[in-house]
Structure 1
C-alpha cells in the first residue's frame, strides 16, 4: 500500500503477502489469560492477543491463517507495536465481551458497535467506521419498509448485538415489535437462512449486508433501523496505556488516508451491484469451478499466488470457459494471445491445465518485472493491469502520474491516470501511444471483486 503513516513503523507493513490481505497466524480455540498490565508489557511479551468473531469482514480462517477487514487493521496495528498477533475466535459477542472483562485478551477486534451498554463492561477505542443497521430480507418475500410492517415478519437477529438494543428501544413506542434472538459469531448464519427463505428477515450492519449480497444476490435491504452507528475495538480499562496507544494509532491512520484506502479495498466495490452478474458468478462457482479448481491450486503452488486470485482472474477473462475466444484471437480459460502462448510453451490454449499454468506464469513474470518501488498489494494490481493492457502502457501511466504530481507506485493513483491514455493530448506525449486505459481499471476492480467473493465463500 503506497500511502503510509508513522507511529513508530509504517502501517503499510500490513501487506504481508502478494495480495496484502493479511496472512495472519492461525487462530487459537480458547481465550488466553494474558497477564499483561500495560502496553509496554505487551511489547515485551512480543504477542498481541486479539479476540474476534468469525465473519466475512472480521475473521475467516483460511487454513494457514485468516483474512478480513478487521484482520488487516490488526496486522498494521501489531506491526506498529512490534508484536505478533494471536487470534482467538470467540463463539459469540457475549463470550468476547466477558473474555475482555476477565483480561483474557488484549483487544477485541470484531466490528462491534459502540453502545452505552457495552461501554459499562469494556473500554472502547476510537471509532473507525460508521454503519447503519439494515433490515435484510429475501427478494420476492416480505419487504417491510415501516416498523409496523416489520412487526409482521419472522425476524431473527444476532443475540447480544446492538440490533437487540435498537429493537428494545424502538419497542417502547412500537410495542407490536417482536423478534427471536440467536447466538452466533456473526449475522451471517441468519443472512444465509434469509437467502434460503428459511427466515423472512434479519438485521445486519450495512457493510456486512452489502458484502453478503455479493454471495447471496437474492438478498434485499428494504429499510434501515438506524444510521451512523460507530464501530470500535474493545479492551480492558486496566490495560495501562492502551487508550493512548489506540488513540494515537487510529488518529494517524485516519490522517494518512490508510483507513480510507482500506475501506475502498474492502467495500468500495459493493455499490457496483448487478444482480444478474452476481447470480451468474454464483452459479459458475457451483457448476464450473470444481472442474478447474485443481489447476488453479497447482498453479498457485508454482507461482506463490493465491489460487483464489488466479481463479478470479480466469473468471474475468473467460467465465471459466476453456473454449472462450475473442475477436482479437486470444483464447482459452486465461485468454492467452498466440505469441504469449508460444513464449510460455503452451501448445494448446484450449487445454485448461496448460492455459491456467501458462497464464499464472505470465502473471508472475509481469509481477517480477515491475520496479522495486511498487510494493505489496499494489504490485499485484499493477501486474494484473499489465496482463490486461500490456506493460508498456503501465510504464506510460506511471510517467503520466509522475508528471501530475501523483505517486507512480500507487495503484490508487494509477487508476486516476490510466483512462487518460485514450486522450490524444496525453497519449501523444507517451512512448506507447493510445490505449483504452479505462479497461485495466475496470479489469482490476472486477478481479478484486471476484477474488473477495471467492475468499469469503469458497474454502481452502
Structure 2
C-alpha cells in the first residue's frame, strides 16, 4: 500500500523547533467535489483516500523508517481495508482541518474532538478517550485544583470549532470567573510544554495521552490534575455526502475494537506511562542522559560480538547497576554488569570495575547461557530464560523446569517457568530438586524489570525521532507567539 504525502512546512515561533519538510512522494491535483451519494465509490474508483491531518507525535510524523504515528497506523489500515492508497495532506494546524474536510473531503484525522453538532461535518464512532490535564512548571507549589490557577500564565490549544482543552477551560471559567488563559490553534503540544519548561508559561492544559508521549522531553513539567470531562477522538467526514463512507469507516473502527487491534495500538503509542512511573521518571531519564552515552559504544560493540540488541544489553546493565561501573553488592558482585568473581574468571575479565571489560564479559556470559539452553526452548522464551539464568544461575533454572514437569506444565515456556521459580523458596519443592533452595522470586522480577527497561529504551529512541532540536536560549516574547488572550470574567 502506497502512502502519498503532501509537503509539510512548519516554522515554530521564536525558533523553538527547526522544522524540516515532510518527504514529498507524489504531488496530486486538487479534485472537484464529488456529487452527493458517491463519496465511497469515488474514492475506490480514483484509487486513493485523501486525509487532512497534521504532523504531531500523537497523530502522524516521519520516523526513520517512514511515516508512523497512532492515527497514521489507523489510516493506513483503513486505506488497506478500502483497497486504496493513502494520500496525506499534512500541512494543517488545528484550525484548518475541518474547513478542508468541508471544502475538499475525504477525511479529517488530526486528534479531532467528537462534537456532534458541528456544521457540515459528520463524525465517526469514538476512537480514543481524551482527558484534559493541567500540567505545570516544576517548582510551583500548591497547584492542586482549579482554585489554585488564578493569576497563572496558562496556555492551551484551541481545538477545531472551539472544542477540546480550550472548551474545558471555558466551562471551568463559569465556576471560576477569575480564570484567564492564552490559546492558539497554530501551535502544537510540544510548543506549549517548551514554554512551560522555559518559564514563558506557568502551566498548560493538554490531553493526558499527549503528556504521556511528550513528558520524556520536558523534565521540569509536572503532571497536575485532571480537568473537566473526557472527550472522544473521532474522524471527520463531509456531512453533505452519503452515509456509505461514514458507515464503512465505523464498520472498520468497530472491527479494530472488537479484534483488540485498537487497544494494542493505543498501548503501543500511549501505554508507557506505567513504565515511566515504575522506573522513576527523573532517575531513569537523568541516568539515560548522563551515564548511558559514555557506555553506548561499548554496548554496541558487545552487541556486534554477541548478536544481542545493544539496548537489551543496556537494559541488563541498568537493572544490574544503573550503569555504575563502581557498583558493589553486599555479596561481592561488582561492576556495571555485576559479575561474580567466578563468572569474571570464566569469561576472562580481569578487572570487574572496568566498564569495557564488564560489558564485554557480561554480554558474552549472557550469550553463553543462552547457547547452553535446550534447543527446544525458542523465541522470547529462550531469551527470558537466559536472563533469568544470569540472575539465579543455570542450575536453578533447570530445577524450575523440573518443577514445571512435576506440575504437568511446559518446561520450554517462560510463562510456566516463571510460575515455578518462586517455588524454589518452599521446602516442599526445593527438596525435590538438584540444586536446592533459591530466592526464585528474584529472577521473575529481574526479567520483568529488564523487559520494561528495554521497552523504555526503545520507546525513548522512537519518541526522540518525533521532535526537532529545542532552542531555549532566547525565549521569544509573547508578541511573537500566535496566542489569543482569554481574559478573566471579573
Q: How far, CA to CA, are the matches of 2:337 and 2:87 in structure 1?
A: 38
Provide closer, same or farther for how the CA distance between residues 417 and 96 of structure 1 changes in structure 2, counting only shifts above 3 A.
Answer: farther
Question: How many residues get paired?
Answer: 419
Residue matched to 2:112: 112
Q: How far, CA to CA, are the matches of 1:427 and 1:186 in structure 2?
A: 58
Scaled by the length of structure 1, the TM-score of the pair is: 0.68
Q: Which moved more, 1:344-353 or 1:256-265?
A: 344-353
Q: Which moved more, 1:123-132 or 1:349-358?
A: 349-358
- Name the SS of the counterpart of 2:214 in structure 1: helix
Residue matched to 2:464: 457
Deviations 1:248-278 (A, max 9, x none): 2222222233333333444444246549832
1:78-157 alignment, distance < 5 Å: 78-83=79-84, 85=86, 87-103=88-104, 106-116=106-116, 119-141=118-140, 143-157=142-156
Q: How far, CA to CA, are the matches of 2:330 and 2:73 in structure 1?
A: 41
The question of 1:444 aligning with 2:451 is answered yes
1:225-374 alignment, distance < 5 Å: 225-237=227-239, 238=241, 241-271=244-274, 274=277, 277-293=280-296, 314-321=317-324, 350=354, 352=356, 355=359, 359=363
Q: How far, CA to CA, are the matches of 2:300 and 2:82 in structure 1?
A: 35
Verify the 8 A CA contact 1:92 1:183 in the aligned structure 2. Answer: yes
Cα drift, residue 137 of structure 1: 0.9
Kindly name which structure, 1 or 2, has the bigger radius of gyration based on alpha carbons: 2
Q: How far, CA to CA, are the matches of 2:226 and 2:292 in structure 1?
A: 36
Verify the 8 A CA contact 1:159 1:182 in the aligned structure 2. Answer: yes
Residue matched to 1:175: 177
Q: How far, CA to CA, are the matches of 1:337 and 1:107 in structure 2?
A: 60
Provide closer, same or farther for how the CA distance between residues 172 and 57 of structure 1 changes in structure 2, counting only shifts above 3 A.
Answer: same
- Name the SS of the counterpart of 1:204 in structure 2: strand
Provide closer, same or farther for how the CA distance between residues 190 and 459 of structure 1 changes in structure 2, counting only shifts above 3 A.
Answer: closer
Provide closer, same or farther for how the CA distance between residues 417 and 53 of structure 1 changes in structure 2, counting only shifts above 3 A.
Answer: farther
Q: How far, CA to CA, are the matches of 1:41 and 1:372 in structure 2?
A: 53
Verify the 8 A CA contact 2:323 2:336 in the aligned structure 1. Answer: yes
Q: Which moved more, 1:74-83 or 1:420-429?
A: 420-429
- CA RMSD of superposed structures (Å): 5.1
Verify the 8 A CA contact 1:418 1:441 in the aligned structure 2. Answer: no
Deviations 1:373-394 (A, max 9, x none): 99xxxx66x5763452259969
Verify the 8 A CA contact 1:322 1:352 in the aligned structure 2. Answer: no
- Name the SS of the counterpart of 1:95 in structure 2: helix
Cα drift, residue 200 of structure 1: 0.7
Q: How far, CA to CA, are the matches of 2:290 and 2:423 in structure 1?
A: 42
Scaled by the length of structure 2, the TM-score of the pair is: 0.64
Verify the 8 A CA contact 2:129 2:232 in the aligned structure 1. Answer: yes
Gapped runs of 5+ residues in structure 2?
1-21, 468-490
The question of 1:59 aligning with 2:60 is answered yes
Deviations 1:228-250 (A, max 9, x none): 31112333444863322222222
Provide closer, same or farther for how the CA distance between residues 218 and 396 of structure 1 changes in structure 2, counting only shifts above 3 A.
Answer: farther
Q: How far, CA to CA, are the matches of 1:98 and 1:27 in structure 2?
A: 24
Deviations 1:199-232 (A, max 9, x none): 1110011222244344434433333321231112
Provide closer, same or farther for how the CA distance between residues 99 and 343 of structure 1 changes in structure 2, counting only shifts above 3 A.
Answer: farther
Gapped runs of 5+ residues in structure 1?
1-25
Q: How far, CA to CA, are the matches of 2:88 and 2:347 in structure 1?
A: 42
Provide closer, same or farther for how the CA distance between residues 268 and 298 of structure 1 changes in structure 2, counting only shifts above 3 A.
Answer: same
Which of 150, 163, 166 matches 2:165? 163
Provide closer, same or farther for how the CA distance between residues 203 and 80 of structure 1 changes in structure 2, counting only shifts above 3 A.
Answer: same
Residue matched to 1:418: 418
